[in-house]
Amino acid sequence: MVRISVIRGDGIGPKIVDATLKVLEEVSDLYNLGLEFIDAPAGDNTLREFGEALPRSSLEKIASSDACLKGPVGETAKDVIVYLRQYLDLYANIRPFKTFRGIKSYRRNIDFVIVRENTEDLYRGVEDVGPDHAVSLLIITRKRTERIAKTAFDLASRRRKKVTIIHKGNVLRSYLFFRDVALEVGRRYSDVNVEDMYVDNAAYQLIVNPERFDIILTPNMFGDILSDEAAGLIGSIGLTCSANISERYGLFEPVHGSAPDINPEYANPLGQLLTASMMLEWLSYKKEETEFMEASIQIREAVEAILENGSTLTPDLGGRARTDDVINKIIEYIRKKFI
Ligand code: ATP
């Protein structure tokens, strides 16, 4: 059995997570994956019901599972995801951005991955705020920069072999340190091209020439900001997925939030579903079992086919379909392909 803890979250979360679980149950049967799902409540609804956004019992279920599939969480995101990243030392935040045929995007051939350090920088949260001052410490350490740089260069080796290190070393020496340590790691990868770029220029290049990027390696805060810009580039934040990983554990979540402003029945489930596909890919490496990779690819292909076909799209993509319509189409496609 492969134990997957599940945080259904808030807003559209329960709807798109349940929809995704339907697809996962289907591929688990077809590919004999032995997936078992364990409900681990967390978020605003959980806070209201149990008095805690991340109860101890949920934390234990998550920590003892093989991986976690997380839906979006509302106002308590900091108590849930920021805490889990630190608690499980999920130091690498991997966010792929790729254009889909059939979906309107700013450019056609966008295909890059943001590799964001997940545990330090200004988001470490070492702060002091008084009536007349506010101070936040920008912390960058060699050990944590080396391990995220290694993740980025390893990934680049399996892709188009280019890493762009993002920093703001012309103003802050801490970011110059980040760049220099990352460059040192990069010297071990003779087949990977490396460049470095100020974050303001990166924000500009993402708009005017996004095709130039393969792997974007960035400290925590810049990665947070550039990710939303990147999501805008590919057409809808509802199509974006991400992984938070360490050597031993992976937590997978869409980039988007709980979307409290829309009717959950019409939420786009595809970002959450691509997140599940990413989880299966990671499990295939971890368990060295190819069935997980096959199931992952099958889900991704189903998503691409539904988007290219264009007849069953949710309102964020210009269609009128419900979440359930999209998921039924996906399951139909996967069943047909399997036979
Ligand atoms: P939160 O406050 O939890 O971060 P949010 O809705 O304020 O959530 P985002 O999730 O980043 O922030 O959403 C930005 C916009 O995109 C919102 O208008 C939201 O309704 C829409 N959106 C986000 N995800 C989806 C989705 N899966 N399907 C449809 N629309 C979405």
Confidence band of 107 (pLDDT split at 50, 70, 90):
confident
Same domain, 31 and 149: no
Q: Is residue 100 part of a domain?
A: no
pLDDT of residue 337: 87
Q: Is 207 part of any domain? A: yes
Residue 98 domain-assigned (yes or no)? no
Whether pLDDT at 97 is above 70: yes
How many CB atoms lie under 10 A from the CB of residue 90?
21
203 domain residue, yes or no = yes
The mean pLDDT value for 213-238 works out to 93
Looking at 92-96, 209-213, 229-233, which range is the least confident one?
A: 229-233
Looking at 210, 234, 258, which one is the last position of a domain?
234
Q: Look at residue 96 and tell me if it is in a domain.
A: no
Q: What percent of the chain has pLDDT over 70?
A: 100
Beta bridge partners of 241: 254
User: What pLDDT does 237 receive?
Assistant: 87
Alpha-carbon span 217 to 239, nearest angstrom: 21
What pLDDT is stored for residue 339 in this prediction? 67
Average pLDDT over residues 209-221: 97
The mean of the pLDDT values for the chain is 96
Known active-site residue 249: no
Residues 229 and 323 occupy one common structural domain: no
| Domain boundary residue, one of 200, 234, 268 | 234
Instruction: Tally the C-alpha atoms within 13 A of residue 287's C-alpha that lie toward its C-beta.
Output: 20
310 found inside a domain: yes
Q: Are residues 253 and 150 in the same domain?
A: no
Residue 10 beta carbon below 6 angstroms from any ligand 1 atom: no
Residues 250, 265: one domain?
A: yes
Domain assignment of residue 196, yes or no = yes
190 and 70 co-located in one domain: no
* CB-CB contact of 94 with 274 (8 Å): no
Task: Tell me, using a 6 A CB cutoff, whether residue 72 lines ligand 1.
Answer: yes
Q: Annotated catalytic, 123?
A: yes
**Same domain (yes/no): 111, 196:** yes
Q: Are residues 109 and 212 both part of a single domain?
A: yes
Which of 208, 219, 315, 331 lies closest to 273, judged by CA?
A: 331
Instruction: Examine the fold and report which residue of 234, 267, 296 is the final residue of a domain before the chain moves on.
Output: 234
The count of C-alpha atoms lying within 13 angstroms of the C-alpha of 52, restricted to the half-sphere facing its C-beta, is: 9
- Tokens representing 51 are 């008095």
Least confident of 137-141, 224-228, 296-300: 224-228
Distances (CA, A) of 33 to 38, 58, 105, 292, 301: 15, 24, 35, 7, 18
Is the shortest distance between the CB of 257 and ligand 1 below 6 Å?
yes
CB atoms within 10 A of CB 305: 16
Atom of ligand 1 nearest to the CA of 269: 27
Could you list the residue range(s) of the whole structural domain that residue 112 is in? 105-234
Look at residues 87, 95, 96, 89 and name the one whose alpha carbon lies nearest to residue 42: 87
pTM over 0.85: yes
Looking at the structure, tell me whether residues 52 and 153 fall in a common domain: no
- The mean pLDDT of 26-47, rounded to a whole number, is 97
Predicted confidence (pLDDT) at residue 302 exceeds the cutoff of 80: yes
Is there a single domain that holds both residue 85 and residue 112?
no
Which residue's alpha carbon is nearest to atom 17 within ligand 1? 259
Per-residue pLDDT band for 230 (boundaries 50, 70, 90) equals: very high
User: Looking at the structure, do residues 202 and 250 belong to the same domain, yes or no?
Assistant: no
Could you tell me the CATH number of the domain that includes residue 245? 3.40.718.10
pLDDT tens for each residue of 138-167: 999 999 999 999 999 999 999 999 999 999
HEC readout, 126-180: CEEEECCEEEECCECCHHHHHHHHHHHHHHHHCCCCEEEEEECCCCCHHHHHHHH
Q: Are residues 219 and 250 in the same domain?
A: no
3-state secondary structure 9-66: CCCCHHHHHHHHHHHHHHHHHHHCCCEEEEECCCCHHHHHHHCCCCCHHHHHHHHCCC
* Structural domains in the chain (count): 2
Q: Are 263 and 335 in a shared domain?
A: yes
